Structure 1
Amino acid sequence: MYLVHVRLRAPDQTSLPPDAAQLFLGCARDGEGLEHVSAHGDAVGGPVVGFYLTAPSLALAERAASALCHRTLLAHAAFAAWSVVSFGAALVPQHWNSLLQSDGRDMQMQDPSTRNLFHPF
């Protein structure tokens, strides 16, 4: 299963509808592999919708999430003038940390000076 985040841009800082996740779920098609949707209107950088999909590859999961998101934006008046800013697989550091710990390794996964998980050294 893949988690694909789609970042959205709203006109005039409009917030996500309260039933946004259900609106996206309702536009899913058979064969897209959609399992679950989470919507985060208060995410840093703008609204984000998380699509949990089963797919044979990350590329296919990202393609399905993008198609589903664009279809939903076109289908519902609540998303009039909304646009997709970006989409891509989400990194889940807790998963990778648990794999390292279960393998007996002790590897630091963050920049110790900033505690930023993804900051290059």
Structure 2
Amino acid sequence: MYLVHATLRPLAPDGSLPRDVRDLLLAAIRPEDRVEHLVVHPDAVPRPVLGVYLLADSLAEAEHRAAAFCRRALAGTPRLSGWRTAGVAVPLVTPFYERLLFGADGADGARRPAGPGRPEGPRDTDGKDRPGLNGPGTLPSSRDLFHPP
């Protein structure tokens, strides 16, 4: 099962989602969509987000299925016809697990692994070093966690 986030955007600048948006979307699910669960985050910033939990054989298939479902459901539901998807993607969870392993914000000042070729961690737009907690990175192996050097 995959969780795919679909960012929703209104066609009109002042558009707002109906309160029963989840029920409307649930009614649009077909068996071939392989959708197992839906979560709506109407107050997400900068735009509302739909969490689509679905079955698929690959990440690419999951994103494709979620995008197709959203296009069809939004266009085919009169009360949602003023909405479109602004983007569909599987959310990255690496930062979540890195925070579990290393602490919430890297306040200890230690450098974090930031992936091949980036041992120092990412730099922000102001040129200052930032710990690699939110950048692409590799997690330590379980051997390192349970059998420290």
TM-score tier, shorter chain, comes to: 0.7 to 0.9
Deviation of 1:63 after TM superposition, in Å, equals: 0.9
Aligned to 1:67: 68
Instruction: Name the structure, 1 or 2, with higher relative contact order (CA <8 Å, separation 6+).
Output: 1
**Cα RMSD, aligned residues only:** 3.0
Residues 54 and 90 of structure 1, relative CA distance in 2, 3 Å threshold: same
- Partner of 1:44, secondary structure, is coil
Q: TM-score, normalised by structure 2?
A: 0.64
On the 8 A contact 1:97/1:109 being kept in 2, the answer is no
Aligned equivalents of 1:109, 1:41: Cα separation in 2: 34
Aligned to 2:3: 3
Deviation of 1:115 after TM superposition, in Å, equals: 7.0
Aligned equivalents of 1:55, 1:80: Cα separation in 2: 27
Residues 89 and 109 of structure 1, relative CA distance in 2, 3 Å threshold: farther
- Structure 1 segment 45-56 matched on structure 2, within 5 A: 45-56=46-57
Aligned equivalents of 1:117, 1:24: Cα separation in 2: 35
Structure 2: gaps (5+ residues):
103-110, 115-120, 123-128, 138-149
Q: Is 2:28 aligned against 1:31?
A: no
Q: Which structure has the greater CA radius of gyration?
A: 2
Structure 1: gaps (5+ residues):
102-106
Aligned residues: 115
On the 8 A contact 1:4/1:50 being kept in 2, the answer is yes
Aligned equivalents of 1:73, 1:51: Cα separation in 2: 14
Q: TM-score, normalised by structure 1?
A: 0.76
Residues 20 and 115 of structure 1, relative CA distance in 2, 3 Å threshold: farther
